[in-house]
Amino acid sequence: MIEFMDKNKIMGLTQREVKERQAQGLVNDFTASASTSTWQIVKRNVFTLFNALNFVIALALAFVQAWSNLVFFAVICFNAFSGIVTELRAKHMVDKLNLMTKEKVKTIRDGQEVALDPEELVLGDVIRLSAGEQIPSDARVLEGFAEVNEAMLTGESDLVQKEVDALLLSGSFLASGAVLARVHHVGAENYASKLMLEAKTVKPINSRIMKSLDKLAGFTGKIIIPFGLALLLEALMLKGLPLKSSVVNSSTALLGMLPKGIALLTITSLLTAVIKLGLKKVLVQEMYSVETLARVDMLCLDKTGTITQGKMQVEAVLPLTETYGEETIASILTSYIYHSEDKNPTAQAIRQRFVGEVAYPMLSNLPFSSDRKWGAMELEGLGTVFLGAPEMLLDSEVPEAREALERGSRVLVLALSHEKLDHHKPQKPSDIQALALLEILDPIREGAAETLDYLRSQEVGLKIISGDNPVTVSSIAQKAGFADYQSYVDCSKITDEELIAMAEETAIFGRVSPHQKKLIIQTLKKVGHTTAMTGDGVNDILALREADCSIVMAEGDPATRQIANLVLLNSDFNDVPEILFEGRRVVNNIAHIAPIFLIKTIYSFLLAVICIASVLLGRSEWILIFPFIPIQITMIDQFVEGFPPFVLTFERNIKPVEPNFLRRSMLRALPSALMVVFRRSFCENIWSESRLV
């Protein structure tokens, strides 16, 4: 353990102490790297069983100089290249994620103040922070007082009061005040570092279609080598064909079994959807998320900026005393907000409403605190003005305040006292007098009710996850036409175990921490839901990364945009159904067309079985050779299975996606495959024999 010096002697660390800590690795140098390297991505997409089988077939054809039959290998290369590009883009998005700035930090060492880069700090360094600066490392306050904005980390929009011994979280900002603080954590132990490390996990590609094809390729991979050898030996030894013809015929059978065409169709269809959505101001940062969103059956919404516009505005000012009229109250609010350093959304709404001549000079100021739920300011010639939550400033409930809360508004009371403002022990004065109520509303987004109603009609479950008061969220949800607005819980009052038990049945979650948001998503996934999450703040990052599909608004935090699957460039929640339509159209059309591709896989397998079985009949004239060559299979891939079905992918088909993609496709392909087998193995042989007769 490192012993800190007496905090009454704030001289900072000596150079010797700094070097000791550097030698022990107690330095604030940390890079949260993604778990997947570029080489791992390349290896995962190139060195697959599917590619290996195609490569061996290509080598065999090259060995016998059957160059015209190697066209198929271009498709394999394109599939691998597309997979690499898609995963590298996802990795690049995650690698860019950074919650910390690179500004110099005022640090006290050997009694002198020096400016250091954040990564040069060591455990125990004393740093000086003032309003507007970001906290570079977790630290405990030694001297001073400050109001800290932790919204980026916790989602709490109100400022948090920090006094001596309070912990300052890295990544947050000082909104007012100044402090001396001692670095408490460095590097990976910092709060922001842990958050980034958890968020910087490159998720594997989530495509059920590709997983189904991998299963099919895995099955064919197990049988393809013995089948290939059997067909080659049959052609060479029993039919006496030349080596080149034998290799070409056996390679054709193997190529026909591998479903490379449908993989190409899937990639090109998804790329087309990405382009179409881009034209509609939806940025798709991960191609396969289009397919995932099509399968979503549970959408978790962040209230602010999704159901509401995310733009607070003062809806009404209600005077509570005849002594101060509307004009006087407006003058007091104008002076208060002009002098105030508060920058939370509520203060910004008041600042937009009350603009004009400042009648009262400021003598002293106490910023708003989420702990107290109020702020105060001493104005010359008036007294001490308080602005905050009615339940924290008034002894009795104001009926008008309760009514406003039930309407989904945020309510503040403007109050006055003639007592002096005590900055060291802020407390509610005994002579406080309520002057007016302010009703502040975040308007419902236009079209939100219709969007929610439509999503429900499309069998998509809805949940609202918010850091706000659950009663307020419930009222807003009711206004937006949310059916289950009465099903809500205050997550600040329950344990993780209780939250897990309530996750599926409860519709609205209020006072939710970033950890709880992630836990809700995890629980919903465990019970079988395909989840999507909307958000806009850093406090949403963990839940966004956990969700199967993440959607953020362009107006959201840059760090959140960097890791999202989809970014709504218009910041309009009403675009979500259009994304859902596009995803369903692509997936349903691929499912509709897939049997065309699987016909070849099935008949190639059955014909290979028949060719091998014909050897057992004992007569050389009955021995069948595989009836196609590779170039024919490639032409079938391109001109029968390729271009015509690709045109069909543009068909509008927005019904809910059905499960069991591979099973349904195989059953639909089987009858046509059997007809091909019957014609090629029986009808043509009978016709040939009849001609000989």
Q: Which segments of 369-513 does DSSP mark as H helices, in order?
A: 390-393, 399-406, 448-457, 470-479, 496-502
Using CA atoms of 179, 181, 186, 187 in order, give the dihedral in degrees to the nearest 10. 10
In this structure, what token pair is assigned to residue 173? 């900002």
Alpha-carbon distance of 669 to 509, in angstroms, equals: 46
Residue recorded with tokens 């790297």: 33
Coil, strand or helix at 2: coil
The full 3-state SS of 489-544, as one line of letters, equals EEHHHCCHHHHHHHCCCCCEEECCCHHHHHHHHHHHHHCCCCEEEEECCHHHHHHH
Phi, psi torsion values for 385, nearest 5 degrees: -100, 135
The answer to whether the CB of 591 falls within 8 A of the CB of 661 is yes
Alpha-carbon distance of 543 to 509, in angstroms, equals: 14
Coil, strand or helix at 408: coil
Closest CA to 303 of 495, 539, 99: 539
Q: Which residue of the set 125, 138, 158, 302 is catalytic?
A: 302
Closest CA to 153 of 171, 130, 180: 171
Alpha-carbon distance of 246 to 226, in angstroms, equals: 15
Using CA atoms of 524, 296, 268, 597 in order, give the dihedral in degrees to the nearest 10. 90
CA 316, 320, 326, 328 torsion: positive or negative? negative
- Measured in residues, the chain has a length of 693
Residue recorded with tokens 């959607």: 551
Coil, strand or helix at 401: helix
Q: Are strands 126-130 and 105-109 parallel, antiparallel or unpaired?
A: antiparallel
CA 567, 569, 574, 580 torsion: positive or negative? negative
**1: CB partners within 8 A, 6+ apart:** none
Give the number of C-alpha atoms closer than 13 A to the C-alpha of residue 142, restricted to the C-beta side.
Answer: 22
The answer to whether the CB of 579 falls within 8 A of the CB of 293 is yes
Alpha-carbon distance of 485 to 476, in angstroms, equals: 8
Q: Is 302 one of the catalytic residues?
A: yes
Phi, psi torsion values for 556, nearest 5 degrees: -75, 180
List the end-to-end C-alpha distance of the chain, in Å, as a whole number.
99
Kindly state the DSSP code that residue 444 receives in the 8-state scheme. B
In this structure, what token pair is assigned to residue 366? 């106490």
Give the number of C-alpha atoms closer than 13 A to the C-alpha of residue 510, restricted to the C-beta side.
Answer: 17
User: Which active-site residues does the annotation give?
Assistant: 302
